[in-house]
Copies of this chain bind each other. A is one copy, B any other.
Amino acid sequence: MALILTFLGKSSTARTKIAIAAAMKQAREGKRVLLAGNSEPAMQILLGTTLSNEPQEVAPNLQAVQFHASTLLESSWEEVKKLEAQYLRTPFLKEVYGQELAVLPGMDAALALNAVRQYDESGKYDTIVYDGTGDSTTLRLLGLPESLSWYVRRFRQLFVNSDLGKAISESPLIQPLISTFFNINWTSDNFSQPTNMANNLLDKGKAALADPKRIAAFLVTNDDPVEIASARYLWGSAQLIGLTIGGVILTGAVSNPTLQEEFEPLTITTVNDATEGQWQSMIDTLPDFVAQATLAPRPMEIDTGARQVRLFLPGFDKKQVKLTQYGPEVTIEAGDQRRNILLPPPLSGKPITGAKFQNGYLIISF
């Protein structure tokens, strides 16, 4: 089980530099580190080397890899074809080659998340630094286990009981496909026993996200008001999907005296730039990521004794947060993120009796 670190913020080049320096810092501390990026050229130029879809050593203890969605898609396709051959008398997907599959929107994120999960489970790394898009797209990616498991739990019962559900579940391919990808048994029997799902991929993803020693993100900003506002927006949005923001990394000089207030109670660390591949100066100024992430506010706390749910939603004011209770769960919306909260038994199904916004926390009472 590795520590997964990522960076959010508006300046793409600044984020990539900090990801590289963070990976180097961890490697020099003796951790086995994987630095993972997308297929755009920035990381290669900054590292001064060519990267590929296979991890390669770029420094002692430090490997780097580029996620290439087209190639990742090919491997997944081979798995699908194997299943098809196993379960269908007349397989037809075998005529389609992985090498010709086009990448659709969303596949990059899903494939990258799956690749991170596999490297994490390989046991080969102590730290994985993921240099993603650093914006809402990265939040969609890390929020995928939560949002997908909402779809599963919300639709499973409706679907299993429907005519369409019955028609589809009779196809011999659909069940193994879904079981393989999500490690869930697609039968109504299993759906009625949520404990059977405890060990599945989505729950593992959610558990990792809830643990700041497993997954943490840091904000990267400079002194520009647009960058600061964007970082605050990403901070609040990240909290809503359950991602811990460990701290703020500030690049460049500061003239804004209220900066500390804007990110209260996070620690702001000012880092030196890494020019011309001189990383040491930046590495020396980086914070202790795990220590900061452990101290940062937790995105959500459920207090069944006080019959309260407390969500830390910095960067938003009361008017920007929407709270509804249409379905069986409570839905919170802020920014462009939406989270459905599955309440534990003592609060489950209870109507909301009050909600207030206090010091950046949304406090919901039942």
Using a CB–CB cutoff of 8 Å, the interface residues on chain A facing chain B are 10-13, 16, 38-42, 45-46, 68-70, 88-90, 92-93, 95-97, 99-110, 133, 135-137, 140-141, 143-144, 146-148, 150-151, 154-155, 158-159, 161-165, 167-168, 170-171, 173-174, 224-227, 229-230, 233-234, 324, 326-327, 329, 331, 333, 335-340
Contact = CB atoms under 8 A, between A and B. Distances in A.
Given A41-B229, A108-B136, A137-B133, A69 B336 contact: yes
Given A40-B234, A164-B174, 17 more contacts: A13-B226, A40-B136, A42-B229, A45-B226, A70-B333, A88-B164, A90-B162, A92-B159, A92-B161, A96-B327, A103-B147, A103-B338, A104-B148, A105-B108, A105-B137, A105-B144, A167-B170
A150 B45 CA distance: 34
Contact of A89 (B90, B141, B163): B163
A117 to B, nearest CB: 14
Contacts of A40: 135-136, 230, 233-234
Given A102-B150, A105-B106, A230-B42, A162 B92 contact: yes
A112 B201 CA distance: 30
Given A68-B336, A167-B170, A335-B39, A140 B104 contact: yes
Contacts of A68: 336
Contacts of A168: 167-168, 171
A171 B168 CA distance: 9
B163 A90 contact: yes
A305 to B, nearest CB: 27
A95 B229 contact: no
26 contacts: A13-B224, A39-B335, A40-B135, A40-B233, A41-B230, A45-B229, A70-B333, A70-B338, A88-B163, A92-B162, A99-B324, A100-B324, A100-B326, A100-B327, A102-B151, A102-B338, A103-B140, A105-B105, A105-B106, A105-B137, A105-B140, A105-B141, A105-B144, A108-B140, A137-B137, A163-B171
Given A45-B229, A331-B99, A144 B338 contact: no
A227 B167 CA distance: 52
Nearest to A41: B229
B137 A108 contact: yes
A339 B99 contact: no
A12 B13 contact: no
Nearest to A322: B99
A107 B136 CA distance: 12
Contacts of A107: 106, 140
Contacts of A88: 162-164
Given A144-B105, A151-B102, A327-B100, A136 B92 contact: no
Looking at A147, A164, A167, the one whose CB has the most chain B CB atoms below 10 A away is A164
B95 A158 contact: yes
A339 B89 CA distance: 31
Contacts of A90: 162-163
A329 B100 CA distance: 9
A106 B41 CA distance: 23
A72 to B, nearest CB: 10
A109 B137 CA distance: 10
Given A10-B13, A41-B233, A90-B163, A96 B154 contact: yes
